[in-house]
């Protein structure tokens, strides 16, 4: 296969999978990792991919990019399903749970549909619709509708949340930079998310590994505000290491939801 053919094939894989890893591409094309890294660097230089540690993501227009919920639903479905199962296993009867808007939190809502004696607070219209007709009690924040994400934001949403208290928040994000924090391209969404963190006893970030190494316009909270992170096994090793090393400095624990070994606990003391 010619170099140009291989690079076009890499772009095709990236468009379908949402991310590519050097190790997997090396095996797929039966070539060395050095060659694959060079391919990715060339594609990155031409603005066709966004280079990350260990692989590449689709090229992004910048920190203002805000894909619609329907666009996001097409990406990383398997990973989000496993993350949702892992997250739902932490929910106990009688608790009050907050789900912010997003495709991963929507997957969690679907997993919790058969729950009893559970209250879910959300600012997402689609999550409320998912839970309609079930035994789950749903509290919708109210607010101004963001059509791209079906989320409710603004002063009404924030004031409603400040009058509540919750046991657990599952927070989805557009970007997770282990040094900067969790971020989203929408300023109003970030403000609502910050209030959610304030009123929850425990905050758990839920995001597939493609979100790592990304920064969006508005910071929600730094990593130190989290108690736990649930992601998949594609998380860059450098980010996983940074989170584990920061465990003793009030950084979150990390669980990686993966096929065949769901939810291994990565603790700061090195135990698995």
22 plus 86 within the same structural domain = no
Average the pLDDT over 82-99 and give the result.
96
pTM as predicted: 0.71
Is residue 50 scored above 70 in pLDDT?
yes
The side-by-side arrangement of strands in the sheet containing 175-177 is 175-177, 181-184, 218-221
Task: Identify the CA nearest to 83 among candidates 211, 201, 179.
Answer: 211
Please give the pLDDT value at position 152.
96
48 plus 124 within the same structural domain = no
Is residue 64 included in any domain, yes or no?
A: no
Is residue 116 scored above 90 in pLDDT?
yes
Is residue 270 scored above 50 in pLDDT?
no
148 plus 250 within the same structural domain = yes
pLDDT tens per residue across span 28-37: 999 999 999 9
What is the tally of structural domains in the chain? Answer: 2
Domain around 34 = 3-58
Return the sign of the alpha-carbon dihedral for residues 93, 94, 95, 100: positive
**CATH number (domain holding residue 193):** 3.40.50.1360
Q: How far apart are CA 55 and CA 17, in angstroms?
A: 12
Please give the pLDDT value at position 162.
97
- The secondary structure of 5-44 as a DSSP string is HHHHHHHHHHHHHS-EEHHHHHHHHTS-HHHHHHHHHHHH
Is residue 271 included in any domain, yes or no?
A: no
131 plus 233 within the same structural domain = yes
Is residue 272 included in any domain, yes or no?
A: no
The token duo for 63 is 């920190």
Is residue 63 included in any domain, yes or no?
A: no
29 plus 158 within the same structural domain = no
Please give the pLDDT value at position 223.
94
pLDDT tens per residue across span 133-144: 999 999 999 999
Mean pLDDT, all residues of the chain: 84
Rounded to the nearest 5°, which phi and psi values hold at 166? -140, 155
Helix axis angle for 22-29 and 3-17, nearest 10°, is: 130
Is residue 189 scored above 70 in pLDDT?
yes
CA distance from start to end of the chain: 41
Is residue 213 scored above 90 in pLDDT?
no
76 plus 168 within the same structural domain = yes
Q: How far apart are CA 250 and CA 182, in angstroms?
A: 16
Is residue 14 included in any domain, yes or no?
A: yes
Is residue 191 included in any domain, yes or no?
A: yes
Average the pLDDT over 64-91 and give the result.
72
Task: Using pLDDT thresholds of 50, 70 and 90, give the confidence band for residue 75.
Answer: low
**CATH number (domain holding residue 32):** 1.10.10.10
120 plus 186 within the same structural domain = yes
Q: What is the DSSP pairing of strand 175-177 with strand 119-122?
A: unpaired
Task: Using pLDDT thresholds of 50, 70 and 90, give the confidence band for residue 110.
Answer: very high
Rounded to the nearest 5°, which phi and psi values hold at 217? -60, -45
């Amino acid at each position: 296969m010619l170099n140009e053919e291989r690079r076009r094939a890499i772009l095709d894989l990236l468009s379908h999978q949402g991310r590519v890893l050097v190790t997997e591409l090396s095996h797929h094309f039966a070539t060395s990792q050095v060659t694959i890294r060079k391919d990715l660097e060339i594609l990155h230089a031409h603005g066709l991919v966004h280079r990350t540690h260990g692989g590449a993501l689709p090229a992004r227009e910048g920190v203002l990019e805000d894909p619609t919920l329907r666009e996001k639903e097409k990406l990383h479905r398997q990973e989000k399903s496993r993350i949702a199962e892992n997250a739902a296993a932490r929910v106990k009867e009688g608790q009050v749970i907050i789900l912010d808007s997003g495709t991963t939190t929507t997957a969690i809502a679907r997993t919790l549909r058969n729950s009893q004696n559970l209250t879910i607070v959300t600012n997402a219209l689609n999550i409320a619709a998912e839970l309609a007709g079930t035994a789950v009690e749903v509290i919708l924040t109210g607010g101004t509708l963001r059509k791209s994400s079906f989320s409710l934001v603004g002063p009404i949403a924030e004031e409603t949340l400040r009058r509540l208290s919750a046991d657990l928040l599952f927070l989805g994000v557009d970007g997770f930079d282990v040094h900067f924090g969790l971020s989203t391209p929408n300023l109003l969404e970030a403000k609502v998310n910050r209030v959610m963190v304030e009123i929850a006893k425990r905050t758990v970030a839920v995001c597939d590994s493609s979100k790592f190494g990304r920064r969006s316009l508005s910071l929600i909270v730094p990593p130190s505000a989290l108690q736990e992170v649930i992601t998949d096994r594609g998380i860059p090793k450098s980010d996983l290491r940074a989170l584990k090393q920061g465990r003793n400095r009030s950084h979150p624990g990390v669980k990686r939801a993966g096929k065949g070994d769901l939810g291994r606990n990565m603790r700061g003391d090195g135990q698995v």
